[in-house]
Structure 1
């Protein structure tokens, strides 16, 4: 899935936003951003279905709410 159209520009925090994030192999899942490092452009997402964590670039997530 191409998340390029939904990239975040880094000007405000995504913390506590519900997002879609990429998974391997070639899937997507949803979760809540629990940490957003604005200076590095990195986010940590808590998957609300299974409790796993995902860490990656803020530009790789798509904000849902």
Structure 2
């Protein structure tokens, strides 16, 4: 779910609002996904997006159509 939301660069606050989860929960999930998500800190804001590897893995996951 988190990888799908991060198809574009978003702040942790935006992600937590979109998924209706706390920022600390989102940060833990991002840490557990390692190289599939990259984040950059800009001032007080941390913005994240899915890496190329993360996008490839998303494309390999079967979608329930």
TM over 0.5: no
Q: TM-score range with shorter-chain normalisation? A: under 0.3
TM-score after normalising by structure 2: 0.24
Higher helix fraction (1 or 2): 2
Question: Greater Rg, structure 1 or structure 2?
Answer: 2
TM-score of the pair, normalised by structure 1: 0.24
